[in-house]
Chain A
């Protein structure tokens, strides 16, 4: 029976339930010492001087590492340590001592003189005339002839005054703009037009495992133990940051205690552990605690947005005008706001659309991709507005989404691209049936004491796969198929599940397979990052490609040994059989080693990546090798979809909201691992619940200091914050542009969960959209009591 489509517990689960699974902080080395960081107390400052003499004189203190000793990339790049900190909590220097308490005490004994610099916390403040910038170079980057160039962008006071008078978002000159169709005509064609300003917070990733790491050096080689989403790509990235050749770094990341986009490849702070270890010539453990993780652990960018949407009386969306100001943090360039524009266009298929936007550098913790970057924010913001139009036009809220949903050949975005497949309506229908949308409509507005019920729906698309990576397989003389996986192990199970594509093609039972992962010395192929829902698509393809290569070699090896033509041999049951007889995979492996050449990996395909070539060369001669680049056709952009359905009970006395029922339904192509798919749909949706309800940043505007700096101050959902039982469904239609038919699913459930809840809360409020995310209890209560909101709509960090 094919392994694809079965529930198979992943091979690492026994280690996880017995405590044997080793995460980064669980590794030890002889003579290991501890490092602590000195974090900036100011949102923007320059280090005038550092006097560490008192600290270094303390017994047990072994050394410090300063910014000048780590790689300093060009602006807006981020260094692991800096002498110009740009947010409260940014690491300035690190210190090592024989134990952690001594290191922490020594950090306190360092005399540091900081010169405060102007700072910006709210993007809008930086755009006001005379407003200060987060960075000395400027506050935005605009695409010029040689890439993005710095600019000090200020909008006229008149725009701020007009916006205030009209109660809308100020919208001066953007840096990014695209459109298609005739927007004026589209709005003229509309029977109903709405216009709203909407804000969405920034929120910290907060994986359960903070980014602790341990490193030591031996014979000029660095051994680094860290937590990463993508082992092979992290190995390459960290080697680059440390200015090492890949073979001078052994990177071990067997288990990743959550990433959600915050540990995609190279985690900057790991450099500090590695360089301190080199400097003091001792193994160094740097434990990152929750407080530090809050600062350096990455966050989703917030949006201050405005939209105008036109609807025909039949529900068809005619035009969308969208403006997004993105809160960026101090480093890098997050594209969430641009992605949000493309997602909007894909999802609603307006006849005409204009997108305008810009991203503002701010002195708040660094942003990175967070599960469905850009998509998860915008769907939670816009879906309640689509509900508003549906109510106005008397159209069912699920129906209006189906009316506007794309089909396989629908164009979207500035480049007018199309998707590989879009079984959106099928996913909506499957979910609506599972949830009983028609029946549950009756619950909407029902009162039980102080509680009123709301029913919501949220649709969420996101990119679901890339291609062009390599697969690397080896049958050793023990007869086992070793599937070398360079992707990470962060709990999506794709490290094991994508291996099934190879096992199925070779007709093997799961027990005949061993997955090799999580350690660069174990020879990984060049792999996609484990992010953006890429792996189930990219690596079922790559492993399938390598399995086809291996199957051909098995047939040729058998024909050479037993006689007859290779094509007459069949592969199955861990044997290869044909006219001349039959041999086991174990025998074929031995025969391949004797034959050499491509059969044992001594000769390799031309088109594989150099990284794969290096790994394959190390494995050559040890068995029968299957190695190939994924050259399968991939026309169009691969997108997956989740639609979430939620029932909430809103307590009109306390403002509390309980999510009591939830179903998520996916279009993710062929279902590879049903139980794991359910976990992705549910888990992502639960993250969306936290986004919609509780995880809010608050800053002191005067000093730029955050009040939310731990889990309990911006709390993700706990087990009592979610329904006791959650349901799921899937369209299950294969994607035609990938041989296995599977698309990724990690991203879209977050937006679906968040949007279903924002939609359900609006429903409980009789259709009123508060246009603020998160919908915290105080915001809901102010609305219920008819009081002014505790902070102005556009104040994103209040």
Chain B
């Protein structure tokens, strides 16, 4: 990993440096494969014992879930491969694209660059947590549908989570503020015009609900 990569600040204010510090703090060896997925420890060598999984409790979408987590495991991997929440997408593994954006205590974060161990006792919201139990969509989801938003939509869960964070924080965003708030998410189909239309409509729907 280059110095540039380590010190790059992501738009959510979470940096590679804090990510690396987090890995070190949890006792794992920093390696280029820290973003990979390990299901469980395989052997009992001294080096590996330090990175044994620990059962922790996570609050995801309002439900408390117990899960075995490796010290170097990212939140995206825990969500996708241990909790079955595959709505959170991995587009780059390295905080470049925002497809894995989730909310932690209401603030948007890249789940690919956040260690699961750091979100204990915090509230995690994923795309699966937006719809009500009775099937009512979140105003942001409804706005996207009404605008025919997104093309391939691989980036959609990340964008939608950023839109939710925005509407919570700023009920009357301008188009410019909306673009700023969504600038941590990449859409390779280039569907930004429709995404902005969706986000503006979402803010309108959210205002009506209040």
Query: Considering the chains assembled together, what is the distance between the CA atoms of A492 and B148 in angstroms?
Result: 11
Q: Which of B112-170 contact A (CB under 8 A)?
A: 126-128, 130-131, 137, 141, 144-157, 160
Contact A716 B195 (CB under 8 A): no
Contact B179 A719 (CB under 8 A): yes
Query: Considering the chains assembled together, what is the distance between the CA atoms of A758 and B195 in angstroms?
Result: 26
Highest count of chain A CB atoms <10 Å: which of B126, B147, B182, B191: B191
Nearest-CB residue, chain B, relative to A683? B190
Contact B38 A102 (CB under 8 A): yes
CB of B39 within 8 Å of the partner chain: yes
Contact A10 B148 (CB under 8 A): yes
Contact B188 A258 (CB under 8 A): yes
Contact B194 A716 (CB under 8 A): no
Residue among A99, A208, A256, A726 making CB contact with B37, cutoff 8 Å: A99
Contacts of A712 in B (CB 8 A): 8, 96
Query: Considering the chains assembled together, what is the distance between the CA atoms of A22 and B89 in angstroms?
Result: 10
CB of A1 within 8 Å of the partner chain: no
Contact A722 B190 (CB under 8 A): yes
Contact B38 A100 (CB under 8 A): yes
Q: A19-B87, A25-B86, A679-B194 are in contact. Are A208 and B141 (CB under 8 A)?
A: no
Contacts of A679 in B (CB 8 A): 148, 151, 189, 191, 193-194
Q: Which of A327-367 contact B (CB under 8 A)?
A: none
Contacts of B92 in A (CB 8 A): 289-290, 710-711
Contact B152 A716 (CB under 8 A): no
Shortest A345–chain B CB gap in Å is 29
Interface size in chain B (residues, C-beta < 8 A)? 65
Nearest-CB residue, chain A, relative to B159? A719
Nearest-CB residue, chain A, relative to B153? A16
Shortest B193–chain A CB gap in Å is 5
CB of B88 within 8 Å of the partner chain: yes
Contact A208 B38 (CB under 8 A): no
CB of A20 within 8 Å of the partner chain: yes
CB of A678 within 8 Å of the partner chain: yes
Q: Mark B10-42, 1 if CB is under 8 A from A, else 0.
A: 000000000000000000000001011111101
Contact B187 A105 (CB under 8 A): no
Contact A687 B190 (CB under 8 A): yes
Contact A722 B192 (CB under 8 A): yes
Residue among B94, B183, B192 making CB contact with A686, cutoff 8 Å: B192
Nearest-CB residue, chain B, relative to A9? B148
What is the predominant secondary structure among interface residues of chain B facing chain A? loop
Contact A724 B175 (CB under 8 A): yes
Contacts of A67 in B (CB 8 A): none
Contact A257 B154 (CB under 8 A): yes
Contact A725 B189 (CB under 8 A): no
Contact A720 B87 (CB under 8 A): no
Interface size in chain A (residues, C-beta < 8 A)? 69
Q: Which of A13-32 contact B (CB under 8 A)?
A: 13-14, 16-23, 25-26, 28
Contact B188 A208 (CB under 8 A): yes
Shortest A300–chain B CB gap in Å is 14
Contact B185 A17 (CB under 8 A): no
Q: Mark B171-186, 1 if CB is under 8 A from A, else 0.
A: 0000110011011011
Nearest-CB residue, chain B, relative to A685? B190
Contact B193 A716 (CB under 8 A): no
Contacts of A102 in B (CB 8 A): 38, 42
Q: A256-B152, A719-B192, A720-B179 are in contact. Are A710 and B96 (CB under 8 A)?
A: yes
Shortest B131–chain A CB gap in Å is 5
Shortest B176–chain A CB gap in Å is 6
Q: Which of A576-616 contact B (CB under 8 A)?
A: none
CB of B91 within 8 Å of the partner chain: yes
Contacts of A22 in B (CB 8 A): 86
Highest count of chain B CB atoms <10 Å: which of A105, A257, A260, A722: A257
Residue among B94, B145, B157 making CB contact with A710, cutoff 8 Å: B94
Contact B86 A26 (CB under 8 A): yes
CB of B196 within 8 Å of the partner chain: yes
Q: A105-B33, A719-B195 are in contact. Are A290 and B91 (CB under 8 A)?
A: yes
Nearest-CB residue, chain A, relative to B91? A208
Contact A676 B148 (CB under 8 A): yes
Contacts of A711 in B (CB 8 A): 92, 96-97, 186
Query: Considering the chains assembled together, what is the distance between the CA atoms of A101 and B81 in angstroms?
Result: 13
Q: Which of A177-212 contact B (CB under 8 A)?
A: 206-210
Q: A99-B38, A207-B152 are in contact. Are A724 and B89 (CB under 8 A)?
A: no
Summed over the interface, the residue pairs from A and B with CB atoms below 8 Å come to a total of 202
Query: Considering the chains assembled together, what is the distance between the CA atoms of A13 and B151 in angstroms?
Result: 9
Nearest-CB residue, chain B, relative to A688? B190
Nearest-CB residue, chain B, relative to A97? B42
Contact B91 A17 (CB under 8 A): no
Query: Considering the chains assembled together, what is the distance between the CA atoms of A25 and B154 in angstroms?
Result: 11
Query: Considering the chains assembled together, what is the distance between the CA atoms of A252 and B178 in angstroms?
Result: 36
CB of A147 within 8 Å of the partner chain: no
Shortest A675–chain B CB gap in Å is 5
Q: Which of B76-111 contact A (CB under 8 A)?
A: 80, 84-94, 96-97, 99
Nearest-CB residue, chain B, relative to A104? B33
Query: Considering the chains assembled together, what is the distance between the CA atoms of A684 and B190 in angstroms?
Result: 7
Query: Considering the chains assembled together, what is the distance between the CA atoms of A28 and B82 in angstroms?
Result: 11
CB of A682 within 8 Å of the partner chain: yes
Contacts of A101 in B (CB 8 A): 33, 36-38
CB of A490 within 8 Å of the partner chain: yes
Nearest-CB residue, chain B, relative to A12? B153
Contact B141 A716 (CB under 8 A): no
Contact A17 B190 (CB under 8 A): no
Contact A719 B185 (CB under 8 A): yes
Nearest-CB residue, chain A, relative to B180? A720
Contacts of B37 in A (CB 8 A): 34, 99-101, 287
Query: Considering the chains assembled together, what is the distance between the CA atoms of A714 and B34 in angstroms?
Result: 24
Q: A23-B154, A26-B86, A104-B36 are in contact. Are A17 and B192 (CB under 8 A)?
A: no
Contacts of B8 in A (CB 8 A): 712
Shortest A637–chain B CB gap in Å is 27
Contact A208 B99 (CB under 8 A): yes
Contacts of A685 in B (CB 8 A): 190
Shortest A108–chain B CB gap in Å is 8
Contacts of B127 in A (CB 8 A): 17-19
Residue among B35, B94, B155 making CB contact with A208, cutoff 8 Å: B155
Query: Considering the chains assembled together, what is the distance between the CA atoms of A204 and B26 in angstroms?
Result: 37
Nearest-CB residue, chain A, relative to B77? A100
Q: Which of A248-284 contact B (CB under 8 A)?
A: 255-258, 260
Contacts of A104 in B (CB 8 A): 33, 36
Nearest-CB residue, chain B, relative to A34? B37
Contact A13 B175 (CB under 8 A): no
Contact B36 A13 (CB under 8 A): no
Residue among B87, B149, B152 making CB contact with A18, cutoff 8 Å: B87
Query: Considering the chains assembled together, what is the distance between the CA atoms of A711 and B99 in angstroms?
Result: 13
Shortest B202–chain A CB gap in Å is 11
Contacts of B154 in A (CB 8 A): 23, 207-209, 255, 257-258
- Since A207-B188, A289-B92, A675-B194 are in contact, a sample of 17 more A-B pairs with Cβ atoms closer than 8 Å, ordered by chain A residue number, is A13-B144, A14-B137, A16-B156, A17-B127, A102-B42, A208-B186, A209-B154, A255-B152, A289-B35, A289-B93, A290-B91, A683-B151, A710-B92, A716-B186, A718-B183, A719-B196, A722-B193
Q: Nearest 6 pairs between A and B by C-beta? A: A19-B87, A686-B190, A257-B154, A491-B151, A491-B152, A19-B127
Q: List 23 A-B contacts (CB under 8 A).
A: A10-B148, A13-B144, A17-B149, A18-B131, A19-B85, A19-B127, A23-B89, A25-B80, A25-B86, A100-B33, A100-B37, A100-B38, A101-B38, A207-B154, A208-B91, A208-B155, A209-B91, A257-B89, A290-B97, A490-B152, A682-B191, A684-B190, A716-B188
